[in-house]
Structure 1
């Protein structure tokens, strides 16, 4: 639903997809591939961040670079597959969070950016 002031609310078909990498360069390379292939409309590399986790039965702490990518539900499976194929880790975190509200124009731009017809 879009309000009179251009604000979209309710469940949209847009997603924020997150992963992390050991280096900024790897995060940027994944972002460039995803955006270039129109699997994501845009991406943000944030970091470094400190992560605390369980891995191979032990608690760990490490420095990572967070990668946020923006796409639609229709493109998620392809984006996930591309990230998993190109990520240097054996079992990287790849999660998606629904975007439940946002600027109607921005969400329309995102949907158009990742449309299979985009860039033709």
Structure 2
């Protein structure tokens, strides 16, 4: 059993979020992905304040798969410096956590 993570990124379009999530799941880097949006983002970019709509991609994975998942997202993302963040899943049902272990390749 490994530690578990929810990894997030954002994209400009729903299609890109679905493509990134699908490619990560197909590669065994994440057990599942959810696309949420559009969401409103408020941010600093290149020294300027900005607001915009984005699509949030949430991926469920294990700590052992994180480095490969991060590399995959950074390579496949259309943005040059996309958000890729992970937060620990500290608790979950035994069956769900077992599924995460079985469906990710570390």
TM-score relative to the length of structure 1 = 0.85
1:110 matches 2:97: no
Match of 1:42 among 12, 24, 32: 32
Matched residues in 1 for 2:98 and 2:19: separation? 26
RMSD of aligned residue pairs (Cα, Å):
0.9
Q: Which residue of 1 aligns with 2:54?
A: 64
Once the 2 structures are TM-superposed, how far is the Cα of residue 115 of structure 1 from its aligned partner? 3.0
Match of 2:42 among 36, 40, 52: 52
Which structure 1 residue ranges, 5 or more long, are not aligned? 1-11
**Structure with the bigger percentage of helix:** 2
TM-score relative to the length of structure 2 = 0.96
| Structure number, greater radius of gyration | 1
Number of aligned residue pairs: give it.
105
